[in-house]
Structure 1
Amino acid sequence: MRAAEIRTAGQPPVVAVRAEPEPGAGQVAVRVTAAPITPLDRLCASGTSYFGVPATPYVPGVQGVGLLAGTPVWFATAAGMRPGDGSMAECAVAASADVVVLPEGADHALVAALGLSAVAAWMCLTGTGQLAAGETVLVLGAGGVVGQSAVQLARVAGAGRVVACARSETALERARRLGADATVGLEDGEDVEHLAQRLEAVAGPVDLVLDPVCGLPAAAALRTLRPGGRLVNLGSAAGEVCPVPSAVLRSRSLRILGYTNNELSADERREALRTVVGQAMTGALTVDHERVPLHDAARAWSRPGRVVLVP
């Protein structure tokens, strides 16, 4: 079979011919139909993650979609985090507990593109963030897959108003197309106070901020929250540190919450994924993605946006 191999940490994969993997105890073999290249895949392959330098060579791909004895499934792997291979191949093995049966007719590439990013957006909104009907949601990083998903899923979850924040005009236009009521663009060289003023002017008092970026945008967004408002952080695309004066937190009794998919049980992840896929099948949820043949994995590895490899 063909597979993408990480042979040296920090280098793009090389497409090679490998023997098909044999499932062990508690595992199944999946004929892969779609495998997304995610930020986690690149981070693990870089050798700079807190998981350490991965043993090479290995096949990357922490999630994928395929056929299990003819039945469409989504599956997860620990490729790059623990020894073993992932989804970027014509065939992959996964633990039975990490396989979710998909409805017939689901778009495999779209499900792969959404995957755990959309699961995270949904759980941040409805679980950690405790979104209530009619509340105002501010989505930072609206150009990414988590952000695009959150803009749409906030509406599904009952938000009264959704405001999207992103850097590029393309991302802002897409957010409006996906249902954002208003958008705010980031400006180069802008300080926290100025961005906070612009966010406040557009968003008004915000109930919930979904934050996959941290850094300056999160610091500004905190200043737009109403008393008792919540910010849920699930990433650091804009920086690892969010400078927040104590007075900002104390004066309005704000809540800063952290989220990771790693906290989900297999059942929680399965139910969230089924919800996400159901919304995609109704047309209420989509995400920009590019389908690329598996044999072009090396050239697609660092391409911006969500790339889905298809054998």
Structure 2
Amino acid sequence: MKALQGVEGRAEWAEQPAPACDVGEIRIRVAAAGLNRADLLQRAGLYPPPPGASTALGLECAGIVSEVGAGCDWQVGDRVCALLAGGGMAEEVVVDARHALPLPEGLSLAEAAAVPEVYATAWLNLFQLGGLKPGDRVLLHAGASGVGSAAIQLCKAFGNPCWVSVGSAERLAYCEALGAQGGVLRGDDGLQALRDFGPFDVILDPVGGQYAALNLELLARDGRWLNIGLMGGRQAELDMALLLGKRIQLIGSTLRNRDEQFKADLLRDLQHQVWPLFAEGRLKPQLVRGYPVADAEQAFAELAGNRVNGKLVLLVDESLV
């Protein structure tokens, strides 16, 4: 089979051995795969997959079940989307059957490929780890990103007013259209205006070091700070007295290297709590564009430019989408 590999900073569509489908696993004929910043890092050689995971790029996909291992409830021909530790950008992928979900009602395979990673990340961090309760106030850094877009919609659906930090007025308008109460533009001390909207009960932050001191200032007493990325650096100086005095919970969170059972439990919760909201029209995958896999480098360049509002996908098998 062919799969997309990160080779010397480029994405290369090349032959690799097809994985075996074992007990408890299913094989998916991939229609489309979502792009994430983790794929940019892996393509650059900076984020290797966990041990035992596929070395091909791609943390989420959607497609058609083509083989079912023993002990699985899926049927050949089922339309599914899946959360992966790697390998989604390939003609086929083998995955733990518990890490696949039926397509949310009304979504195409291309749209569904833009759902698993970002909605799982947002749900895990805001509601499971962050313990959001109705009425809690939320700050989302990088609010127009794929995760940010999912998080805004989830906050609106579950009664949590949210604000964002973004890079342009156009992106702020996009976030407000999705349901954000408002927000600020980063740069030229624009972030300081977040004080006008705080304090916040939960902050979801993919930036890291650069925003750390401000996050601590903006959080309410007993606030939860979920750090999910390091786009702004890995080093920060914190006022620990403020951390203690406010009883802040600082939580470092990743999803890709979680164990199989953890992911299975997360996806089961996602199916019960979140999937029905797609059928009701309260959640929508913010799919900006689908690129043929032959144009993968163009897709990666667009994602790296930090101007995408929502999600991009690669169309691996255009006959299916």
Normalised by the size of structure 2, how large is the TM-score? Answer: 0.81
Q: Residues 183-216 of structure 1: CA distance to partner in whole angstroms, max 9, x if unpaired? A: 111114x3xxx834x1111x13221112122222
Question: Structure 2 matches for 1:251-290, cutoff 5 A?
Answer: 251-261=245-255, 262=258, 264-273=262-271, 275-286=273-284, 287-290=286-289
CA distance in structure 2 between the aligned counterparts of 1:73 and 1:174, rounded to whole angstroms: 29
> Following the alignment from structure 1 to structure 2, what is the Cα–Cα distance between the partners of residues 273 and 297?
30
The amino acid that maps onto 1:157 is F
* Kept in 2: contact 1:66–1:72 (CA 8 A): yes
What residue is the counterpart of 2:73 in the other structure?
A: none
More displaced 10-residue stretch of structure 1: 295-304 or 134-143: 295-304
Query: What is the correspondence of 1:1-311 to structure 2 with a 5 Å cutoff?
Result: 3-6=2-5, 8=7, 10-16=8-14, 22-49=20-47, 51=49, 59-68=56-65, 69-79=76-86, 86-103=87-104, 105-159=106-160, 161-188=161-188, 190=189, 195-196=191-192, 198-201=193-196, 203-261=197-255, 262=258, 264-273=262-271, 275-286=273-284, 287-304=286-303, 305=308, 306-310=311-315, 311=317
CA distance in structure 1 between the aligned counterparts of 2:213 and 2:122, rounded to whole angstroms: 20
Q: Extract unaligned runs of 5+ from structure 1.
A: 80-85
2-structure distance, mates of 1:7, 1:179: 36
TM-fit CA distance, 1:224: 1.6
Rounded to whole Å, the distance in 2 between the matches of 1:222 and 1:16 is 46
Q: Which one-letter code corresponds to 1:174 in the other structure?
A: Y
CA positional deviation for 1:172: 0.9
Tell which deviates more after alignment, 232-241 or 16-25.
16-25
- Map Cα deviations across residues 131-178 of structure 1 (whole Å, 9 max, x no partner): 11112111111021111111111122221x211111222221111111
Compared with structure 1, are the counterparts of its residues 90 and 130 closer, same or farther at alpha carbon in structure 2 (3 Å cutoff)? Answer: same
Q: Alpha carbons of 1:222 and 1:280: their partners in 2 closer, same or farther (altered >3 Å)?
A: farther
TM-score by length of 1: 0.83
Report how many aligned residue pairs link the two structures: 295
Q: CA deviation at 1:118?
A: 1.6
Q: CA RMSD in A?
A: 2.8
Indicate conservation of the 8 Å contact 2:137/2:202, yes or no: yes
2-structure distance, mates of 1:16, 1:274: 38
CA distance in 2, matches of 1:7, 1:114: 23
In structure 2, the residue matched to 1:83 is none
Q: How far did 1:294 drift?
A: 1.9
Cα distance change, pair 64–252 in 1 and its aligned pair in 2 (3 A): same
Unpaired segments ≥5 residues, structure 2: 66-75
Give the residue type in structure 1 aligned to 2:268. Answer: R
